[in-house]
Amino acid sequence: MILRVSTKGEYGVRLMVDLARHYYSSRPRSLTDIAQAEQLSLAYLEQLVKLLRESEPPLVVSTRGAHGGYRLSRPPEEITMGEIVRVLEGPIAPMICATEGEMTQICSLLDSCKTKFLWARVRDAVAQTLDSITLADLVGASEQEAQNAPTHFISISDIRVAPSSAM
Amino acid sequence: MILRVSTKGEYGVRLMVDLARHYYSSRPRSLTDIAQAEQLSLAYLEQLVKLLRESEPPLVVSTRGAHGGYRLSRPPEEITMGEIVRVLEGPIAPMICATEGEMTQICSLLDSCKTKFLWARVRDAVAQTLDSITLADLVGASEQEAQNAPTHFISISDIRVAPSSAM
DNA sequence: CTTAATCCGACCTGCTCACTAGGATATATT
DNA sequence: AATATATCCTAGTGAGCAGGTCGGATTAAG
């Protein structure tokens, strides 16, 4: 399966969507609540939220102690999925020499390399898609009601796929 | 790193590009030659070419015995990168419930699932990109000369990346 | 001062990737 | 016929990493 997003990206996005849905609440949202609503492990979410908090600029801000929790650092419409995914999964790069940003001369034979063109195109398509969608888009317009429906999703690790039949 | 293409996809594409460049040769091209030109393991290439040969429809045809080897089953302009990558890597699916084709109700909570929209968009962007590029595009117009320059590429497994700095 | 939360780092465990090994079979050349 | 050169096939394997768990330290509210 190409284009595999790990559970970091999957759970992390769900976490951010949850925070976006509670962005206008008076109190921060605790990981305990999120873990319960999304049926995810608290300890694992702590690892993910750490990435989101320590990123530059941070995507979430925390309040410690009782009744603490997390908030988005900015309104949902100002946070793109590209930002989130890059923090969680690293740069968008189908392979090592087709990474984003400073495409320094890693590959000595880069000029004679026909395939770089392909992977660069794929990378750009993904980046453009992710950068054009914000958290607000995912939360959606029909989101004043249904304040409690979980953003549930079947995970990669939930299901065993049939042994890689060739398509 | 999101969007990770495994060496199967990477080497397999290089193999196909090599075959495309020799498509109008009178003799089939042996894996031994390809392995040498691309600096890849012969035994590993055998595994990959098996997928390409057994796919439906096949992407390569083989000739056994001495002076045997492989050819593309069709002209380079009729083979898309989407076909090749799907045979090698499986369906394009960022995660299990955003796979291509029959999107049967794997996820029971699919309706309340906000994130499916995101991954479906990403999937479609990748699929469209791959399906719009053919082998002929990669081989390129300037390809009557330079019959022997290897299509070399730095591989994921060649380089150790610095321990996943956030970003 | 108890409870509820964030923070932190170490550890673990099974799976998959990326091969390698060793052969069996087929065919062209000498 | 013998040899060399190919494709074909199945198993095994070693390292690395995804995907967590565990135990505890710190901080703040009631």
The DSSP secondary-structure symbol of B29 reads B
Distance CA B123, CA B157 (A): 25
Closest CA to A129 of B85, B2, B126: B126
Give me the helix-helix angle, A42-54 and A31-38, nearest 10°: 120
Residues of chain B whose pLDDT is less than 70?
1-2, 94, 96-99, 101-113, 141-167
Q: What is the mean pLDDT of residues A50-78?
A: 97
In this predicted structure, what is the pLDDT of residue A53? Answer: 98
> Is the Cβ–Cβ distance between B18 and B69 less than 8 Å?
no
- Considering the entire predicted model, what is its pTM? 0.82
Cβ of A122 within 8 Å of Cβ of B113? The answer is: no
What distance in Å separates residue B21's CA from the closest CA in chain A? 11
Residue of B nearest to A138 (CA): B114
In this predicted structure, what is the pLDDT of residue A96? Answer: 65
Contact map slice: A 8-27 vs B, CB within 8 A: 9-10, 13-14, 17
A97: left (phi over 0), alpha (psi -120 to 50) or beta: alpha
Top-confidence residue, B164 or A23: A23
The DSSP secondary-structure symbol of B147 reads S
Q: Which ranges of chain B does DSSP label H, i.e. alpha helix? A: 7-21, 31-38, 42-54, 81-89, 115-131, 135-139
**Nucleotide closest to B8 measured between CA and C1':** C18
The secondary structure element, H or E, covering residue B70 is strand B69-72
In this predicted structure, what is the pLDDT of residue B115? Answer: 86
In this predicted structure, what is the pLDDT of residue A2? Answer: 65
Name which of A57-71, A153-167, B34-48 the model is least confident about: A153-167
pLDDT tens column, A105-147:
445 444 446 788 899 999 999 999 999 999 999 987 455 444 4
Measured between beta carbons, the chain A residues lying within 8 angstroms of B119 are 5
**Who's near A107: CB < 8 A, 6+ residues apart?**
A97, A113, A116, B152, B153, B154
Chain D bases near protein Cβ (<7 Å): 4-11, 17-23, 26-30
Residue of B nearest to A166 (CA): B87
Question: How distant, in Å, are the alpha carbons of A16, A87, A93, A98, B140 from that of B159?
Answer: 32, 21, 14, 13, 28
**Who's near A161: CB < 8 A, 6+ residues apart?**
A1, B96
Cβ of B4 within 8 Å of Cβ of A107? The answer is: no
Residue entry with tokens 């008076």: A26
Distance CA A70, CA A67 (A): 10
- Interface contact B54, partner A, CB < 8 A: yes
B62 DSSP β-pair partners: B70
Amino acid present at A118: L
β-strand pairing of A69-72 with B60-63: unpaired
The secondary structure element, H or E, covering residue B61 is strand B60-63
Cβ of A14 within 8 Å of Cβ of B123? The answer is: no
The secondary structure element, H or E, covering residue A60 is strand A60-63
Distance CA A117, CA B136 (A): 13
Euclidean distance between the first and final Cα of chain A, in Å?
9
Measured between beta carbons, the chain B residues lying within 8 angstroms of A51 are 166
In this predicted structure, what is the pLDDT of residue A117? Answer: 85
What distance in Å separates residue B67's CA from the closest CA in chain A? 27
In this predicted structure, what is the pLDDT of residue A143? Answer: 53
In this predicted structure, what is the pLDDT of residue A93? Answer: 75
In this predicted structure, what is the pLDDT of residue A19? Answer: 97
For chain A, domains (ranges, CATH) are 7-156 (1.10.10.10)
